[in-house]
Amino acid sequence: MISSEDKVRFDPATSRSELKQTEGGSVFVSNYPPFSFWKEEEVDSALSALNTAPVADNTLGLYLHIPFCRKRCKFCYYLVHTDKNSEQIDSYLDVLAREVELYSELQSVQGRPLKFVYFGGGTPSYISVNHLEKLVTRLKAAISWEGAEEITFECEPGTLSQSKVEAIRQAGVTRLSLGIQNFDDDILQENGRAHLSKEIYKSLPWIEQVRFDQVNVDLIAGMVGETWATWKDNVKRVIELDPESVTIYQMELPFNTVYVKELRDGGSVHVADWQTKRDWQAYAFSELKSAGYEISSAYTMVKKDKECRFVYRDSVWQGTDVLGAGVASFGHINHVHMQNTASWSQYIETLKAGKLPLNRGYTTNANERLVREAILQMKLGRVSAAYFKQKFDTDIIQHFGQSYEKLRREGMLIFDRETVELTEKGLHQVDQLLPEFYSEAFRNSRYT
């Protein structure tokens, strides 16, 4: 039994690999090859991929980055702005729409239907109803999302009002994702969250009233101050809310966070160790299972009796094309990874000059695409050999045989000729297992 006292002091002076030995690994893998290998010299390749007709049969989605938040959470490592006024937000949304308009004229995009749209951040729900309506009108005129299977919109409870929730639904959003993270006000405050529990409960009736196809709520296992008692209460409350989908991430402390800065300045921050966080996630999964949920991925449980697909996630993990619009956004078109500049002023000025604000890219080869999908799909808890045979003409059981065997011996997964299935132990530390599948050139390298 692990108690709340079993905590380790995070030491920012240790390297990532030492941290792994101490805590069992902490890399969150969202793409491959690692971002540190993407280069400015590849921007031309990205542009030429955008100006080429799409690869047959591949789908297309749109990711929109809204980089504003009311307050910076102390564990946040995203590019967010907490100081922009309404006029600056207006300018940003104007060029964001312009970026999508520019994309819509390119050969890789023209006439292609969108399978999904994802409003991420930052906090998309931070923007006003007027801003949202104006943005959506322009986006829809540039690129139709009539037939899209899913439109997701991330929300922070304290930024919502009844009229905003109605406007979000009116924009065509089908999947609303609510960043609750924790119900305990002391923990929310300690971790620098902008909202408190009363704002969560205030927003729920509005969300319920307008009826989204799917509501997802996010929790973080292991925020500073979390104990077994507070965590059990979080899980109980989330089950009471009865959402279609529950996503639980394990708390991380990357270097560019307020917490790490506090530590560097001589402060003290206590975060539960990785085993405790895994135990908390496993406990939540088990309680959710008893309440009628089933595993959808290493992070997400969904209602068993409803159709709860997550089109954005599954499409990305199957190599879909994605237009990444917004400052620092990531995209993938015709086998080329690309990312926009992270500079606010450069992003705005480049688009005002009528150019795409791309900053770096990476042209993937067939093996890298295979590895990318193989590792991302492991996060589903189950990988099908038939899928890879059909798409890549490769027997992945043979291709990754040694790695699968090594992980099987460690109790992380089981496999046969058709399927690889992660055990509960493997599922709750899946990100730590994935570097095993990297090509030699990308091992032991910086991820971002």
66 binds ligand SF4 per the rule CB under 6 A: no
Region near ligand SF4 per CB under 6 A, out of 71-79, 96-104, 260-268, 336-344: 71-79
**Using CB under 6 A, which of 49, 60, 64, 69 touches ligand SF4?**
69
> What's the min distance (Å) between Cβ of 70 and ligand SF4?
8
73 binds ligand SF4 per the rule CB under 6 A: yes
Region near ligand SF4 per CB under 6 A, out of 19-27, 98-106, 118-126, 282-290: 118-126
Cα torsion through 15, 364, 331, 26, rounded to 10 = -20
Site string for ligand SF4, 171-210 (x = CB under 6 A): --------x-------------------------------
Residue 379's nearest CA partner among 297, 447, 258 is 297
Q: How many CB atoms neighbour CB 35 within 10 A? A: 16
- The dihedral of CA 298, 302, 304, 310: what is its sign? negative
Q: Using alpha carbons only, give the angle 111, 114, 117 rounded to the nearest 5 degrees.
A: 145
> What's the min distance (Å) between Cβ of 307 and ligand SF4?
28
**Using CB under 6 A, which of 33, 34, 54, 121 touches ligand SF4?**
121
Whichever of 220 and 376 has its CB closer to ligand SF4, that residue is 220
Region near ligand SF4 per CB under 6 A, out of 39-47, 115-123, 141-149, 345-353: 115-123
> What's the min distance (Å) between Cβ of 121 and ligand SF4?
5
> What's the min distance (Å) between Cβ of 251 and ligand SF4?
11
Whichever of 42 and 154 has its CB closer to ligand SF4, that residue is 154
72 binds ligand SF4 per the rule CB under 6 A: yes
Whichever of 200 and 333 has its CB closer to ligand SF4, that residue is 200
For 322, the 3-state DSSP assignment is strand
Crossing angle of helices 385-392 and 366-378, in 10° steps, is 160
> What residue spans of 268-422 are helical by DSSP H?
274-290, 311-316, 344-352, 366-378, 385-392, 396-399, 401-409
Which position's Cβ is nearest ligand SF4? 76
Whichever of 126 and 404 has its CB closer to ligand SF4, that residue is 126
**129 to 168, contacts with ligand SF4 by CB under 6 A?**
156
> What's the min distance (Å) between Cβ of 76 and ligand SF4?
3
Residue 344's nearest CA partner among 120, 135, 81, 43 is 81
Class of residue 87 by CB neighbours under 10 A (exposed 0-12, middle 13-18, buried 19+): exposed
**Using CB under 6 A, which of 50, 62, 66, 80 touches ligand SF4?**
80
123 binds ligand SF4 per the rule CB under 6 A: yes
> What's the min distance (Å) between Cβ of 165 and ligand SF4?
18
Residue 314's nearest CA partner among 247, 245, 374, 376 is 376
- 139-145, long-range: CB within 8 Å, 24+ apart, which pairs? 139/64, 139/97, 139/100, 142/97, 142/100, 142/101, 142/103, 142/104, 143/62, 143/100, 143/103, 143/104, 143/109, 143/114, 144/113, 144/114, 145/62, 145/114, 145/117, 145/172
Interatomic CA distance for residues 370 and 349, integer angstroms: 37
391 binds ligand SF4 per the rule CB under 6 A: no
Question: Which residue ranges make up the site for ligand SF4 (CB under 6 A)?
Answer: 69, 72-73, 76, 78, 80, 121-123, 156, 179
